[in-house]
Amino acid sequence: MARVFIPTMLQFLTSGVKDLRIDVRNIEEVVRILEKQFPGMSDRLLVDGQLVSTVVVSVDGQVSHLGLLQRVKEESEVHFVPNMGGGCKGPYPLPE
Amino acid sequence: MIRKLDDKGISKANYKVIGTRPIRHDGLDKVTGQAKYSADINLPGMLYGKVLRSPHAHARIRNIDAGKALALKGVSAVITSADFSIQSDKVIDLGEGAMVNTGFLSQNVMAKEKVLYKGHAVAAVAAESMHLAEEALALIDVDYDVLSPVFDVREAMKPGAPLLHERLYHSSTPFIRPGGLKDDSDNSPGSNIASHFVFELGNPKNAFAEADIIVEREFQTKPVHQGYIEPHAATAIWNRDGKATLWCSSQGQFTMRDQSAVLLGIATSNIRVIPLEIGGGFGGKTLVYLEPIALLLAKKAGRPVKVTMSRKEVFEGTGPTSGSFMRVKLGANNDGKLVAAEGVLAYEAGAFPGSPVNPGVQCMFASYDLKDVRVEGYDVVVNKQKVAAYRAPGSPGSCFAVETVIDELAEKLNIDPLELREKNGAKEGTRRVSGPVFGKIGYLETIKIAKSHPHYIEPIKRNAGSKVRGRGIASGFWFNGSGPACAIANVHSDGTVSLIEGSPDIGGSRAMAAMCVAEVLGLAAEDVHPSVGDTDSIGYTSNTGGSSVAFKTGWASYEAAQDIKRQLIERAARIWDVDPGQVEMDNGTLNEKSGTRRQFTFKNLAAVLLSTGGPIVGKAAVDPAGVGGAFALHIADVEVDPETGKVDVIRYTAFQDVGTAVHPSYVEGQIQGGVAQGIGWALNEEYVFSEDGTMLNSSFLDYRMPTSLDLPMIEAVIVEVPNPGHPFGVRGVGEVPIVPPMAAIANAVYDAIGVRIRRLPINPPTVLEAIWAKDGSGRG
Amino acid sequence: MNEKIHVKTKINDDYVEFLCEARQSLLEVLRDVLDMTGTKEGCNDGNCGACTVILDGRIVDSCLVLAVEVSGKEIITIEGVANVDKLHPIQQAFLEQAALQCGICTPGFIVASKALLDRESNVDEGRIRHWLAGNLCRCTGYDKIVRAVMAAQENTKI
């Protein structure tokens, strides 16, 4: 079961739950399950069905650029971290 | 000096090219003046553009009348914000800590309804000569409604402070969204606080209650500029088919293209950005300033236009890094174990949201293995230049605060400061305050090397005539980054390879990329010819920044070379009429594994490619994970003159874990350069403002960066704890060296004069005030 | 103000003529009129040394010299430092010592260092740092630049 951590700033949605173990294949499933258990979560994490660009997902200590597509392993640790300095992820060309 | 670690599990690979010091391929052009930088383009029929800037720190624009300017002979075009495309508040991620939405970016490039800092661009002109353009600027009439400004970060946070953006969305509850605008129906009170970040691990409140000793201190820093010697310049020309070409130097030609395209409201493929050599960036050239202006002027005038900035404009019209107010609290036990930490940072974003307070809070305690931590950051707008990234954005300031408190704790606990760090140092498995756990890192190894170094072992001579000396230590951390990167490598029939990659070369990176290819193919570094492609000729490559280039572009170059290797093996197999599995390539030679054991050298095979099936081109497009963070530990010796307050740095050693140093000379160069900037930040540099928000020291005379007389030789000790996530073990190196110097120097000054200085810069008046306050003389 | 003046001078051993306005600096003329962009503009007010040239044997900031002033004088710019077929020892030393990163300040440093080594021998670290204090570098911290000048001095001795 992957261990998914709730960011400090979103723990108000989970009544203080800081992390939970869930059985998932990828981040999209993580967000779906989080939204089911803690309504309002996907509103904070997604924009237009994609991970909001100010957040990246870190799996086993590595920042992923695959967003919702990122696969999650059996014993993975998943964090949602603010996207910030050092990363040169973008900007990607914007849709026309 | 390089120290290879002999630990189990750390490979000591035998590289042939990696780790050597070939002369960089672009060096000849640079020492002979042939290399072209952004202002070195001269096109036939070219006009010169200049920007009109606001004389007020905060004002509403009532009207702009450019009639007289346009009437001036030789003036071809004038633009204002009306010429830019309408922007929503769509967010673009620039990397390097600066998240902006395009509406704010557009308004910073050219003010729309309000001017928000003295120097804010208001209009621009294209004319036959630069002098004429400047004359034309003086003829543009702008009608302003002057408003009350706010400059201090804490003042700006108070309710009732003048608001820069009436509808700024104070995003303290939604997850990390840098200031956007409120919905029209939202009438909640406005704020200058654009964002609020909180990270917590464990239970710091309880942990503090259990601590034997607590130290809590406040700190202040001022905005400082990246100080690149090359001012911004951009040249644009349009074709009749509606496509434009833009020459500029930047840290990312793709960023310049994409930002310009968005601001102009056109498709990205309509702009081709050709990167010229860049004369320094350090994060400051990751935002557009002149590029959209050059494009719009060129479009309106129907001729190519070159727009430049004067040095004054660079200071007043681009982005320094944040001034700040910080509070740090650390709790420890008497045995030296750190048990609790708390940090609150308020960073000035300048006129628009986007200070690096987020990485600031995440880096500040990163060197330490802490279970109970809370960090909080505020991103606050004030009527100053909109900040841009500056080398390890956010981290130097917050680490200045933390490392000073660590030093104080060490003294109170009577523990050697290096021992204290070793006892509490972050290691593989340490959890960071943002959540993820560290992989393989080299902080403890770096401390170990420092402990055996003469600079640590040899005692410092306390008194030198009337002056006093002191020694200080500080550590620092930076995440390092990655991102998409592409490379194309062509094999030539003379046995050389040309490599095209997408990373503007700030300090030797194209040589690094060539060395990666050479290593894979068994060639000499000189036989690989690297160049940086434009936005049409190379695949998308993210910014040169975030200490990501050796990692991502090195990787892309490595993969392109591997692609060539595969094709060479297939070709040799075809020529020998054997199965490719029967061929291997090692050390620049292709060998038949059995049978007649035929051989090709790379050169011999390259010579027959065209007659045996055609040319061979290797390609790669990567977006690699596997980044390794970087730690640094610095030791500084200073000499203080108690009469004048002048602080001289007399000895400096910087230890840094670089993973693997591909080209050690340029790795040393990055370390030395970061240290030099940190020393300037510590001792002299700051934006000095008048009461009305004018930057009083917007020249190199008064914005005092270190000269050759201000610095000693800087010893860079390279520690190699290879990053298992990269084929050559590379960690980013460019940013972390600027993180420790301010605290190292502040701690050294304390050691010399016995007073802690908790604000930057530690300039002579500040030192004198500290000395006089301590000795009770009450002078000053 | 806008009427052009005819100037005759010598640049890198070549006789050169150009037209310029009275208000144009030597730096501007070199770069914009003569297309010699090796000399760089960093500040345009004499504080960074990126525009260093040698004028009648002395190093000057070309941004502080009016173009009309060089009439009848001799100028050496970065383009004239190397011989046709060989780099000057200081250029070679900069390459070998890795004394440049972005390279924008390099022309100014090379011209200034050449002037130092042309007139003085046995310069030590202190003298080098003092001589070069008018040239700003933001990338290197000066360490490798000073080493390059010392190495060039060694090579000129041989």
Any chains having at least 3 CB pairs less than 8 A from chain C are B
Contact B434 A54 (CB under 8 A): no
- pLDDT above 70 covers a percentage of chain B that reads 94
Q: How far, CA to CA in Å, does C81 sit from each of B199, B303, C84?
A: 57, 36, 9
How far is Cα C107 from Cα C157, in angstroms, rounded to an integer?
23
CA torsion B28-B31-B34-B40 (nearest 10°) is: 140
Question: Taking residues C92-96, what's their average pLDDT?
Answer: 97
Contact C81 B32 (CB under 8 A): yes
Contact C112, C142 (CB under 8 A): no
Do chain C and A touch: 3 or more Cβ pairs under 8 angstroms?
A: no
Residue B50 falls in which region: left (phi positive, over 0), alpha (psi -120 to 50) or beta: beta
Chain B to chain C Cβ contacts (< 8 Å): 179
pLDDT value, residue B101: 75
Contact A7 B548 (CB under 8 A): no
- pLDDT above 90 covers a percentage of chain C that reads 94
How far is Cα B394 from Cα B390, in angstroms, rounded to an integer?
8
**B587-625: string of b/e by CB count within 10 Å (b at 16+)?**
ebebbbeeeeeeebebeebbeebeeeeeebebbbbbbbb
Per-residue pLDDT band at B628 (split at 50, 70, 90): confident
Contact A62 B626 (CB under 8 A): yes
Here the tokens at position B88 are: 């929503």
Query: Domain boundary at C41, C63, C80, which?
Result: C80
Q: Which one of B28, B30, B131, B685 would you mutate to disrupt binding with C, by most C Cβ within 10 Å of its Cβ?
A: B30
pLDDT digits (tens, 9 = 90+) for B587-605: 899 999 998 899 999 999 9
How far is Cα B330 from Cα B328, in angstroms, rounded to an integer?
7
Here the tokens at position B418 are: 């290096």
Question: Taking residues B367-392, what's their average pLDDT?
Answer: 96
Residue A57's domain spans which residues?
Answer: 2-82
Residues in contact with B292: Cβ distance below 8 Å, sequence separation at least 6, in sequence order: B84, B109, B110, B259, B260, B263, B264
Residue A93 lies in a domain: no
Considering only CB atoms, B91 lies closest to which of A53, A93, A96, namely: A53
* 3-state SS, residue B702: coil
How far is Cα B544 from Cα A88, in angstroms, rounded to an integer?
8
* pLDDT at position A94 over 90: no
Please tell me the least confidently modeled range out of A84-88, B404-408, C27-31.
Answer: A84-88
Query: What is the nearest CA distance from C30 to chain B, expressed in angstroms?
Result: 11
CA angle B645, B715, C96 (to 5 degrees): 125
Q: Count CB neighbours of B82 within 10 A.
A: 9
pLDDT digits (tens, 9 = 90+) for B730-747: 999 999 999 999 999 999
CATH number at residue C51: 3.10.20.30
Contact C93, C148 (CB under 8 A): yes
pLDDT value, residue B330: 98
Contact A86 B735 (CB under 8 A): yes
* pLDDT at position B171 over 60: no
pLDDT digits (tens, 9 = 90+) for C98-146: 999 999 999 999 999 999 999 999 999 999 999 999 999 999 999 999 9
> How many domains, chain C?
2
Furthest CA-CA distance within chain A: 41
Residue B321's nearest CA partner among B286, B293, B278 is B286
How far is Cα B476 from Cα B396, in angstroms, rounded to an integer?
8
What chain C residue is nearest to B230 in terms of C-alpha separation? C42
Residue A92 lies in a domain: no
B356 inside 8 A of chain A by CB: yes
Write out chain A residues lying below 8 Å of B392, CB-based. 85-86
pLDDT digits (tens, 9 = 90+) for A9-54: 899 899 989 999 999 999 999 999 999 999 989 888 888 888 887 7
How far is Cα C107 from Cα B46, in angstroms, rounded to an integer?
26
Within the 506-545 window of chain B, which residues sit less than 8 Å (CB to CB) from chain A?
540, 542-545
Q: What is the mean pLDDT of chain B?
A: 93
Considering only CB atoms, B175 lies closest to which of A5, A45, A61, namely: A45
Estimate the crossing angle of helix C106-119 against helix C89-96, to 10 degrees: 130
Here the tokens at position B24 are: 């960089």
How far is Cα B505 from Cα C100, in angstroms, rounded to an integer?
12
Contact B676, B705 (CB under 8 A): no
pLDDT value, residue B780: 47
pLDDT value, residue C85: 86
pLDDT value, residue B195: 85
B589: enclosing H helix or E strand: strand B589-592
Residue C35's domain spans which residues?
Answer: 4-80
DSSP assignment of B596-607, as one string? T--EEEHHHHHH
B668 inside 8 A of chain C by CB: yes
Within the 127-166 window of chain B, which residues sit less than 8 Å (CB to CB) from chain C?
130-131
Residue B610's nearest CA partner among B494, B731, B453, B724 is B494
* pLDDT at position A85 over 50: no
Residue A71 lies in a domain: yes
Residues in chain A: 96
Same domain, C107 and C75: no
How far is Cα B122 from Cα B55, in angstroms, rounded to an integer?
10
* pLDDT at position B1 over 70: no
Residue C108's nearest CA partner among B26, B251, B707 is B707
Query: What is the nearest CA distance from C91 to chain B, expressed in angstroms?
Result: 6
pLDDT digits (tens, 9 = 90+) for B673-705: 999 999 999 999 999 999 999 999 999 999 999
ipTM of the prediction greater than 0.85, yes or no? yes
Write out chain C residues lying below 8 Å of B130, CB-based. 28
Residue A11 lies in a domain: yes
Please state which architecture CATH assigns to domain B482-622. 2-Layer Sandwich (3.30)
* pLDDT at position B560 over 70: yes
Contact B236, B304 (CB under 8 A): yes
* pLDDT at position A93 over 50: no
Residue B501's nearest CA partner among B15, B8, B26, B2 is B26
pLDDT digits (tens, 9 = 90+) for B145-170: 999 999 999 999 999 999 999 878 66
How far is Cα B179 from Cα C88, in angstroms, rounded to an integer?
54
Query: What is the nearest CA distance from C15 to chain B, expressed in angstroms?
Result: 20
Q: Where are the alpha helices (DSSP H) in B239-337?
A: 253-264, 291-301, 311-317
Question: Taking residues B329-340, what's their average pLDDT?
Answer: 98
Contact C43 B311 (CB under 8 A): yes
Write out chain B residues lying below 8 Å of A57, CB-based. none
* pLDDT at position B618 over 90: yes
* pLDDT at position A86 over 60: no
Any chains having at least 3 CB pairs less than 8 A from chain A are B
pLDDT value, residue B169: 67
Contact B522, B587 (CB under 8 A): yes
Write out chain B residues lying below 8 Å of A89, CB-based. 93, 95, 481, 483-484, 542
How far is Cα B638 from Cα B470, in angstroms, rounded to an integer?
5
Contact B507 C101 (CB under 8 A): yes
* pLDDT at position B381 over 70: yes
Contact B625 A63 (CB under 8 A): yes
Question: Taking residues A64-84, what's their average pLDDT?
Answer: 88
Please state which architecture CATH assigns to domain B1-14+439-478+628-780. 2-Layer Sandwich (3.30)
Q: Return residue ranges of chain B for CATH 3.30.365.10.
A: 1-14+439-478+628-780, 482-622
Contact C32, C95 (CB under 8 A): no
Question: Taking residues B308-317, what's their average pLDDT?
Answer: 98
Per-residue pLDDT band at B530 (split at 50, 70, 90): very high
Residues in contact with B19: Cβ distance below 8 Å, sequence separation at least 6, in sequence order: B2, B660, B661, B662, B664
Here the tokens at position C48 are: 């960074």
Q: How far, CA to CA in Å, does B501 sit from each of A94, B555, C20, C126?
A: 23, 11, 41, 41
> How many domains, chain A?
1
* pLDDT at position B355 over 50: yes
Q: Which residues pair with B61 in a beta bridge?
A: B144
Here the tokens at position B111 are: 């003010």
How far is Cα B391 from Cα B396, in angstroms, rounded to an integer?
9
Residue C35 falls in which region: left (phi positive, over 0), alpha (psi -120 to 50) or beta: left
A95 inside 8 A of chain B by CB: no
Per-residue pLDDT band at C1 (split at 50, 70, 90): low
The beta-carbon contacts of B568-576 under 8 Å, at least 24 apart in sequence, are: B568/B491, B568/B602, B568/B605, B568/B616, B571/B605, B571/B609, B571/B612, B571/B613, B571/B616, B572/B600, B572/B605, B574/B612, B574/B613, B575/B600, B575/B608, B575/B612
Please tell me the least confidently modeled range out of B75-89, B701-715, C79-93.
Answer: B75-89
Per-residue pLDDT band at B89 (split at 50, 70, 90): low
Here the tokens at position B499 are: 């490599």
Q: Count CB neighbours of C148 within 10 A.
A: 28
C19 inside 8 A of chain B by CB: no
pLDDT digits (tens, 9 = 90+) for B384-394: 999 999 999 99
* pLDDT at position B13 over 80: no
pLDDT value, residue B253: 96
Residue A89 lies in a domain: no
CA angle C145, C151, C153 (to 5 degrees): 110
How far is Cα B188 from Cα B170, in angstroms, rounded to an integer?
10
pLDDT value, residue B98: 42
Residues in contact with B407: Cβ distance below 8 Å, sequence separation at least 6, in sequence order: B417, B472, B473, B474, B743, B747, B750
Considering only CB atoms, A90 lies closest to which of B174, B482, B542, namely: B542
B734 inside 8 A of chain A by CB: no
pLDDT value, residue B7: 40
Residue B680's nearest CA partner among B283, B364, B228 is B228
Q: How far, CA to CA in Å, does B214 sit from each of B204, B332, B340?
A: 12, 6, 9
Same domain, C73 and C113: no
Residues in contact with B335: Cβ distance below 8 Å, sequence separation at least 6, in sequence order: none
How far is Cα B117 from Cα B610, in angstroms, rounded to an integer?
61
How far is Cα B38 from Cα B256, in angstroms, rounded to an integer?
13
How far is Cα A49 from Cα A95, in angstroms, rounded to an integer?
14
Contact A90 B92 (CB under 8 A): yes
Contact B200 A44 (CB under 8 A): no
pLDDT value, residue B664: 95
Same domain, C9 and C69: yes
Residues in contact with A61: Cβ distance below 8 Å, sequence separation at least 6, in sequence order: A77, B436, B437, B438, B439
A10 inside 8 A of chain B by CB: yes
pLDDT value, residue B184: 66
How far is Cα B703 from Cα B388, in angstroms, rounded to an integer?
18
Considering only CB atoms, B439 lies closest to which of A9, A61, A86, namely: A61
A40 inside 8 A of chain B by CB: no
B309 — phi, psi (to 5°)?
-115, 140
CATH number at residue A18: 3.10.20.30
* pLDDT at position A90 over 80: no
pLDDT value, residue B5: 45
Residue A41 lies in a domain: yes
pLDDT value, residue B12: 55
Contact B696, B688 (CB under 8 A): yes
B278 inside 8 A of chain C by CB: yes
Contact A85 B177 (CB under 8 A): no
Question: Is the C-alpha dihedral spanning B13, B732, B1, C143 positive or negative?
Answer: positive
Contact A77, A61 (CB under 8 A): yes
Q: Tell me, what amino acid is at B637?
A: D
pLDDT value, residue B90: 57
C3 inside 8 A of chain B by CB: no
pLDDT value, residue B294: 98
pLDDT digits (tens, 9 = 90+) for B630-689: 999 999 999 999 999 999 999 999 999 999 999 999 999 999 999 999 999 999 999 999
